[in-house]
Structure 1
């Protein structure tokens, strides 16, 4: 600790957390690492209370346990070990955890400023709120604690695990419903390959589109994706760090530094919330894929150490904001039918029942099947025109005009649940505004004959858009306009990995 005291402790903690986050990003594809931070029973925990650590502290201790190959997730302070009659192995290295608090215990005084004493003559204490202050502790891993009983992973019966999932999903459903109602946020499930969040320019309202939960391998994957999009929606609360990359000050164009950081914020927030609710993110391949994208962003230079530091703080703010909407449910009141009715805890079962009823209607089933078929046909038609869908099913391409890169992508209208409605974006922005002199929104109702026309119109609209971009720059008119149409048909327009993460979107396309 001597070296730490010579520096600002806040900076020391920040450096430790950023280093740990790098470890997470670099090892997100490691099964051992993923199990450590995704499985609640073996998450890093307080060895005295056995409660899992939260947020950045969980990342810091998981990274250290991973590096030292520790199989014991318990951590104790020197004082806690002493109080339990244990000791610390000589030469053991501690790790620093921290948190901010604005609550302080002080001597209680009456209205005249005099100390208040209890019946035994001791000064009474009270909790007061003050300026947030950083507090930190040195903790030792269980493998360095002498005399502690070996750690044993809890052995839950299949019935217990099933009931634990019920509780977790009920709380997740309550979070989604209560947050969306409070923020007037539109949330829809729709037969769609992508999930994304969109908001208006005034940051006053937004909408989230999620694939139908039956499209996911399991409910864990569905809720993890939902948490990611909910985290994006907290921009409506204005809780992001205010700098040149904050959503209020820049456009979140796909692949940009601002976009990369916002993706990291959303992914960390989703991880924090899932951990808190006891939802096992290790079951979600989407989560693994998302961190793979973030790893590419980091290695590509879009994320600096400063960005990682800000993302950690913003992710915790977002998670804390959302977790306020999680009810304190217990296993008992979920199992009790009467308690479920009173507390409305069985939201997951109700949602699944509603979905089943909808899908059971022949008319609705036909619509969903037809929409899915039409989207597949659209991909096929565009493929014949030089486009191809990426691994996430997004249809996009990039081209260079006037020395600048232009990224085009097909987006889906969130307000068209019963129709096939799309629009085109260029570098993340719709290209149907007057300034672009182009209207790229094309809607095809349940008629597959229109899908081919839709694909042709998209290609034509993009051609006109690129021609206008050229025309706006006389320097390139003579050498480029004459060959524009030929170029559009060449392999120059190829997909180049423009996928937003499978859980990400127009904030992100998520």
Structure 2
């Protein structure tokens, strides 16, 4: 997989690297003319906070323009879901795509401090990669709660970032165990799981067509025959892409599909299905992602440029779509339910790199909210 150039450039590792929310202030420009230049008082200097939403969006846009968007890549081996290498907890939302598109085979990441605590050492000269999470902050509303006579406060999510390193950049970290790393096709077990999931969804699938598509009005998936694909991997990746669209029906996750291919809603839905297809491939061990949707690239770029928060919403929806589909298999369902509960609890308790709710949902939700897509 092609490695794109580093989009964020933390300092070379001499000491622990930490993300900063505000850049260092610029030295004031000396006044022209006879007036003597002087240092501007700190309180009069202007600080411009980093726009993390724009930062992420710009990196995704650049990746698409360079042809290395994470949902369009061909993978030599199985791309695994990014996880924290010390806690084994998976990353979520936009962080999945941000880490996946860096082109590193090892899916394990951790902070400098986490590595240090385990006696590992980030190699000198290595660059970290930035990931993002929401931290809830309380703000006073200026109103008084009539029941408690206490000032009313509201909780708002604030996007934060910090730096992680891949375990391949760290001396002393345990070696990654690889199995069938360069196998080009799916195993019998993976094919069986894919078939079981698709069958359990109850989706109506019609084969024998010259195209792959989902019809919201008919609630039906249209597919070419499996034999017409170059490999089983391509067949299942394509089928799961259409199943991802299937989740958007009004009786399921209820998304807007758009009236035609030129509409913004259509592009948004296609973006979500592409992301979900990549996420499903990571979960299921499919060694390749489909890349036959180049015609939509211009639409993707436009909607991302028009709204810097769209990639966060799209990643949130894509992971929800992924979980919805995967939950039809009993071996995955329980794990997703537990993970979802932990994430919702983390959303309430988040406050720093050690307690992270990392952009799975665009907005915080109560920790007792039922997980969408769970079947009884």
Between the aligned partners of 1:321 and 1:196, the Cα distance in structure 2 is: 19
Query: C-alpha root-mean-square deviation of aligned residues, in Å?
Result: 4.1
Q: CA deviation at 1:85?
A: 0.5
- Equivalent residue runs for 1:59-458 within 5 Å: 59-63=97-101, 65-66=102-103, 73-89=107-123, 93-98=127-132, 138-148=163-173, 154-156=178-180, 165-180=187-202, 185-189=203-207, 191-200=208-217, 206-237=219-250, 239=253, 246-247=256-257, 251-282=258-289, 287-290=290-293, 292-298=294-300, 301=302, 303-306=304-307, 307-328=310-331
Quickly say closer, same or farther: Cα 1:326–1:79, change in 2 above 3 A.
farther
Return the offset for 1:141. 2.7
User: What CA distance in whole angstroms lies between the structure 1 residues aligned with 2:120 and 2:269?
Assistant: 44
Contact 1:231–1:318 (Cα < 8 Å) also in 2: yes
The CA deviation at 1:81 is 0.6
Structure exhibiting the larger radius of gyration computed from Cα positions: 1
Deviations 1:158-205 (A, max 9, x none): 9xx69972222222112212222xxxx42222x2111221123xxxx7
Change (3 A) 1:81 1:8: same
Distance 1:79 1:303, change over 3 A: closer
User: In 1, Cα distance between the equivalents of 2:79 and 2:312?
Assistant: 28
| TM-score, normalization by structure 2 | 0.58
Shift of 1:269: 0.9
Q: In 2, distance between residues paired with 1:164 and 1:196?
A: 22
Matched, 1:56 2:94: yes
Where does structure 2 lack aligned partners over 5 or more consecutive residues? Answer: 1-18, 24-46, 137-155, 333-376
| TM-score normalised by L of structure 1 | 0.44
1:132/1:176 Cα in 2 relative to 1: closer, same or farther (>3 Å)?
A: farther
Greater fraction of residues in helix: 1
Structure 2 CA distance for partners of 1:139 and 1:197, relative to 1, 3 Å: same
- Whole-Å Cα distance in 2 between the matches of residues 322 and 219 of structure 1? 19
Cα gap change, 1:157/1:89 in structure 2, threshold over 3 Å: closer, same or farther?
A: closer
Whole-angstrom CA distance in 2 between matches of 1:178 and 1:4? 49
C-alpha separation between the residues in 2 aligned to 1:178 and 1:100? 34
Contact 2:186 2:232 in 1 (8 A): no
Residue aligned with 2:215, SS: strand
State the partner residue of 2:73.
34
Q: Structure 1: give runs of 5+ residues left out of the alignment.
A: 103-130, 330-510
- How far apart are the structure 1 equivalents of 2:171 and 2:225? 51
Q: Is the alpha carbon distance of 1:8 and 1:273 closer, same or farther for their aligned partners in structure 2, counting shifts above 3 Å?
A: farther
Q: Which has the higher contact order (CA 8 A, sep 6+)?
A: 2
SS in 1 for 2:331: coil
CA pair 214-312 structure 1, distance change in 2 beyond 3 A: same
Structure 1 297/50 Cα, relative in aligned 2: closer, same or farther at 3 Å?
same
Residue deviations 1:251-303, cap 9 Å, x none?
43122222222111111111111111111125xxxx1222x22323345x365
Contact 1:92 1:144 in 2 (8 A): yes
For residues 190 and 219 of structure 2, what CA distance do their matches in structure 1 show?
A: 26
Query: Match of 1:405?
Result: none
Q: Deviations over 1:217-242 (max 9, x none)?
A: 1111111111111111222256467x
Q: How far does residue 133 in structure 1 lie from its aligned partner after superposition?
A: 9.5
Residues 245 and 269 of structure 2 are in contact (CA less than 8 Å); yes or no, is this contact kept in structure 1? yes
Q: How far has the Cα of 1:42 moved from its partner?
A: 6.5
1:57-102 CA distance string (max 9 Å, x none):
2321133x34xxx675542223321232113345654333346799
